[in-house]
Structure 1
Amino acid sequence: MQVVVFRIGDEQFAVETSKVQSICDMMNITLVPKAPSHIKGLINLRGIIITILDINLVLNMKSANTEEQNIIILNLEDEAVGITVDSVDEVLEVEDGSVERVVSDKEKVFIKGVINLKDRIITLLDFDKINI
């Protein structure tokens, strides 16, 4: 399987390329009054309105002080949803056997496993399991 590797703070995460619609540079995000805290706002991408998630809140991470540089647009069920990330690092070819499953608590069912490479560990996320 192929994955897109991205960085949030000092951590690396990945999502399967089959879920990625596009990757774009950071753009103006319109805030939505009274939206849930994990909704950062909306963007207009070539005439399509896309909801942007605050992935730091979803992953229960502190926001890094770095400037977010990219938006990854994901295909989730019937909807396109964006996440802001510090950077998109690379596209990797990963063998299914190299993804180690992790026993996680019920709150983190969106962690599909970890990709254990020689020099680093990348957390593989399953965005279909994230409640929006």
Structure 2
Amino acid sequence: MNSLKYIVFRIGNQDFGVPVSFVISIEKVIDLSDFPQMPKYVKGLTTIRDAVVPVLDMSQILFNRTLETNEDGIIILIDINGSQVGMMVNEAKEILDVPESEVKEIDGLFSQNASYLIGVVRANDTLINLLNPIEMLQNIDGIDEIIEQSRQTVN
């Protein structure tokens, strides 16, 4: 039976998973710099392993509300086709091994409005929404320009 590994993270009181294959590292939020004229979903820029990366507010992207964080916020650094992006979340919880047969596809209205959702899985009596980070980024207006601007930023 085929299975995939997901990093499970929390935003507010909901759990999400992103495939481990996209994750570079999980970092504590430190030294987040504002970047002028950025959309609400960009929390700022940070330097991780000598790379300047944009940090996205996952609560803003998924729920259209600002992530309530403190200094304990977490950045999940992902790589999408050679571009590094930080996803700011409340907490990273675990690595979950998910058999493909247990992933339930989302259909109807939800799938039309959220093409970046792979499906849902139940683990530890909790529903976990599984995200496709490639689809998610493709649905964010202006993300390519933001990634390019962060690459051009000099420390």
Normalised to the residue count of structure 2, the TM-score between the two structures is: 0.78
| SS class of match (1:57) | helix
Report the CA distance between 1:34 and its aligned residue.
0.7
1:43 aligns with 2:46: yes
Alpha-carbon distance between aligned partners in 2 of 1:118 and 1:86, rounded to the nearest angstrom? 19
Alignment of structure 1 residues 1-132 onto 2, 5 Å: 1-63=4-66, 65-67=68-70, 68-103=72-107, 104-117=110-123, 119-130=125-136, 131=140, 132=143
Report the CA distance between 1:106 and its aligned residue.
3.2
Identity %: 28
The equivalent residue for 2:146 is none
Alpha-carbon distance between aligned partners in 2 of 1:64 and 1:52, rounded to the nearest angstrom? 12
Segments of 5+ residues of structure 1 without an aligned counterpart are none
Answer whether contact 1:43 1:51 (CA < 8 A) is retained: yes
Report the CA distance between 1:78 and its aligned residue.
2.0
Count how many residue pairs are aligned between Structure 1 and Structure 2.
Answer: 132
User: RMSD of aligned C-alpha atoms?
Assistant: 1.6
Answer whether contact 1:52 1:83 (CA < 8 A) is retained: yes
| SS class of match (2:60) | helix
- The structure carrying a bigger helix percent of its residues is 2
Report the CA distance between 1:118 and its aligned residue.
5.2
Greater CA deviation, 63-72 or 111-120?
Answer: 63-72
| SS class of match (2:59) | helix
Answer whether contact 1:23 1:71 (CA < 8 A) is retained: yes
| SS class of match (2:32) | coil
Answer whether contact 1:113 1:124 (CA < 8 A) is retained: yes
Alpha-carbon distance between aligned partners in 1 of 2:62 and 2:27, rounded to the nearest angstrom? 21
Q: Deviations over 1:64-98 (max 9, x none)?
A: 54535211001112201001111111101110111
Report the CA distance between 1:37 and its aligned residue.
2.0
